Structure 1
Amino acid sequence: MDKNRIRKVVIAGGGTAGWVTACALTHQFRDLLDITLVESEEIGTVGVGESTIPTIRTFHRLLQIDEREFMKAVAGSFKLAISFENWKRPGERYFHPFGTTGVNTWSCDFHQFWLESRARGVQSELGDYCLETAAARLDRFALFDASEATQQWSMRWTKQATKLERSDVSYAYHFDAALYAVFMRNKCEGRGLKRIEGKIAQVRQDPDSGFVQSLVLEDGQVVEGDLFIDCTGFRGLLIEQTLKTGYEDWNNWLPCNRAVAMQVETSTPPVPYTRAIAHEAGWRWHIALQHRVGCGWVFSSDHMSDDEAAAKLRACYPDDNLVREPWIVPFRTGRRKQAWNKNVVALGLASSFIEPLESTSIHLTLSAVTRLVQMFPFEGISQAVADRYNKVSRDELEHIRNFIILHYHLNQRDEPMWKQCREMELPPELAQRIQVFRDTAYAWQGEDELFRLDSWTHCMLGQGVVPANHHPLTRGLSDADMRTLLEGVRRPIDRVVAQMPQHQEFLNRYCPADPSVWQMRRRSTVG
Structure 2
Amino acid sequence: MEVNETIGSVVVVGGGTAGWITAAKLAKRFNSTSEGAVSVTLIESPDIPTIGVGEGTWPTMRKTLASLGIDESEFIRTCNASFKQGSKFVNWKAAPTTTNNHYYHLFSSIADPAEFNLSPYWRLGYAGTKSYAEAVSTQGYLSDLCKAPKAITSKAYDGIQSYAYHLDAGKFAELLKKHAIEKLGVKFLSCNVTDVMTDTDGITGVMTDQFGEVAGDFFVDCSGFSCLLLGQTLGVPFKSVSDVLFTDYAVAIQVPYNDPQCDINSCTISTAQEAGWIWDIGLQNRRGVGHVYSSEFMSHEQAEKLLREYIGEDAHNLPAKLVKMNVGYREKFWHKNCVAIGMSAAFVEPLEASAIFLIEAASNMLADQLPKKKSLLNIVANKFNESFLFRWNRTIDFIKLHYVLSERDEPFWVKNKNKDSIPQSLQDSLEQWATEPVSPYDFSHVYDPFPMESYQYVLNGMNFNQDLSAGETKYSDIDNAKRAFGQIEKYKDMLIRDLPSNRELLNKLSSFSFSKV
Matches within 5 A, 1:399-478: 399-425=394-420, 426-444=422-440, 445-448=443-446, 449-469=448-468, 471-473=471-473, 476=476
The answer to whether the aligner puts 1:325 opposite 2:319 as a matched pair is yes
Matches within 5 A, 1:90-105: 90-91=95-96, 92-102=101-111, 104=113
SS at match of 2:95: coil
Deviations 1:43-96 (A, max 9, x none): 122211210011111111211221111111100000001001111112310000
User: Which residue of 2 is the match for residue 53 of structure 1?
Assistant: 58
Report the CA distance shift for 1:60/1:239 in structure 2 as closer, same or farther (over 3 A): same
User: Which residue of 2 is the match for residue 158 of structure 1?
Assistant: none
The answer to whether the aligner puts 1:117 opposite 2:125 as a matched pair is yes
The answer to whether the aligner puts 1:256 opposite 2:265 as a matched pair is no
Q: Which moved more, 1:432-441 or 1:336-345?
A: 432-441
Matches within 5 A, 1:71-110: 71-91=76-96, 92-102=101-111, 104=113, 106=115, 109-110=117-118
Matches within 5 A, 1:235-274: 235-266=226-257, 267=259, 268-274=262-268
Q: Identify the match of residue 147 of structure 2 among 118, 123, 140.
A: 140
TM-score, normalization: structure 1? 0.88
Deviations 1:341-386 (A, max 9, x none): 1111101000000210000101111100000011112111521111
SS at match of 1:69: helix
Q: Distance in 2 between the 1:46 and 1:148 partners?
A: 32
Letter in 2 for 1:391: E
Deviations 1:2-59 (A, max 9, x none): 3121111111111111111121122222131122111122112221121001111111
Letter in 1 for 2:72: E
Q: Distance in 1 between the 2:379 and 2:496 partners?
A: 50
Deviations 1:439-485 (A, max 9, x none): 1233443332121222111101112212111552476467x876544
Contact 1:102 1:489 in 2 (8 A): no
Letter in 1 for 2:68: L
Q: Distance in 1 between the 2:432 and 2:407 partners?
A: 20
Q: Which moved more, 1:310-319 or 1:465-474?
A: 465-474
User: Which residue of 1 is the match for residue 294 of structure 2?
Assistant: 300
Report the CA distance shift for 1:463/1:225 in structure 2 as closer, same or farther (over 3 A): same
Contact 2:191 2:211 in 1 (8 A): no
Letter in 1 for 2:425: E
Q: Which moved more, 1:127-136 or 1:238-247?
A: 127-136
The answer to whether the aligner puts 1:367 opposite 2:370 as a matched pair is no
Shift of 1:496: 2.1
Q: Identify the match of residue 126 of structure 1 among 106, 116, 132.
A: 132
SS at match of 2:313: coil
Unaligned runs of 5+ in 2: 513-517
Contact 1:265 1:321 in 2 (8 A): no
User: Which residue of 1 is the match for residue 515 of structure 2?
Assistant: none
Shift of 1:197: 1.3
Q: Distance in 1 between the 2:153 and 2:23 partners?
A: 32
Deviations 1:121-170 (A, max 9, x none): 922122122022221122111326735999xxxxxxxxxxxxxxx98411
Shift of 1:512: 7.1
Q: Distance in 1 between the 2:86 and 2:319 partners?
A: 28
Letter in 2 for 1:97: L
Shift of 1:270: 1.3
User: Which residue of 2 is the match for residue 341 of structure 1?
Assistant: 335
User: Which residue of 2 is the match for residue 201 of structure 1?
Assistant: 194
Q: Distance in 2 between the 1:167 and 1:506 partners?
A: 13
User: Which residue of 2 is the match for residue 178 of structure 1?
Assistant: 170
Report the CA distance shift for 1:511/1:172 in structure 2 as closer, same or farther (over 3 A): farther
Shift of 1:411: 0.8
Letter in 1 for 2:47: E
Report the CA distance shift for 1:235/1:492 in structure 2 as closer, same or farther (over 3 A): same
Letter in 2 for 1:330: K
Q: Distance in 2 between the 1:34 and 1:477 partners?
A: 57
Q: Distance in 1 between the 2:269 and 2:123 partners?
A: 27
Q: Identify the match of residue 185 of structure 2 among 186, 192, 195.
A: 192
Contact 1:409 1:424 in 2 (8 A): no
Letter in 2 for 1:94: Y
Q: Which moved more, 1:176-185 or 1:301-310?
A: 301-310
Q: Distance in 1 between the 2:292 and 2:59 partners?
A: 24
Q: Which moved more, 1:504-513 or 1:263-272?
A: 504-513
Q: Distance in 2 between the 1:169 and 1:147 partners?
A: 11
Q: Distance in 2 between the 1:103 and 1:473 partners?
A: 22
Identity %: 29
Q: CA RMSD for the aligned pairs?
A: 2.5
Shift of 1:103: 6.1
User: Which residue of 2 is the match for residue 487 of structure 1?
Assistant: 486
Contact 2:151 2:500 in 1 (8 A): no
Q: Distance in 1 between the 2:507 and 2:226 partners?
A: 40
Q: Distance in 2 between the 1:294 and 1:488 partners?
A: 35
Contact 2:277 2:292 in 1 (8 A): yes
User: Which residue of 2 is the match for residue 161 of structure 1?
Assistant: none
Letter in 2 for 1:418: W
Shift of 1:432: 1.9
Aligned residue pairs total: 493
Shift of 1:424: 3.0
Letter in 1 for 2:412: M
Letter in 1 for 2:108: G
Shift of 1:492: 2.3
Contact 1:149 1:509 in 2 (8 A): no
SS at match of 1:301: coil
Q: Distance in 1 between the 2:195 and 2:291 partners?
A: 35
Q: Distance in 2 between the 1:229 and 1:105 partners?
A: 36
Report the CA distance shift for 1:512/1:333 in structure 2 as closer, same or farther (over 3 A): farther
Q: Distance in 2 between the 1:167 and 1:188 partners?
A: 26
Q: Distance in 1 between the 2:76 and 2:40 partners?
A: 27
Contact 1:14 1:37 in 2 (8 A): yes
User: Which residue of 2 is the match for residue 218 of structure 1?
Assistant: 209
Report the CA distance shift for 1:276/1:49 in structure 2 as closer, same or farther (over 3 A): same
Contact 2:85 2:149 in 1 (8 A): no
TM-score, normalization: structure 2? 0.90
Deviations 1:220-263 (A, max 9, x none): 61111111111100010001011110011111110001101111
Q: Distance in 2 between the 1:75 and 1:394 partners?
A: 34
Contact 1:117 1:482 in 2 (8 A): no
Q: Which moved more, 1:436-445 or 1:386-395?
A: 436-445
Contact 1:354 1:361 in 2 (8 A): yes
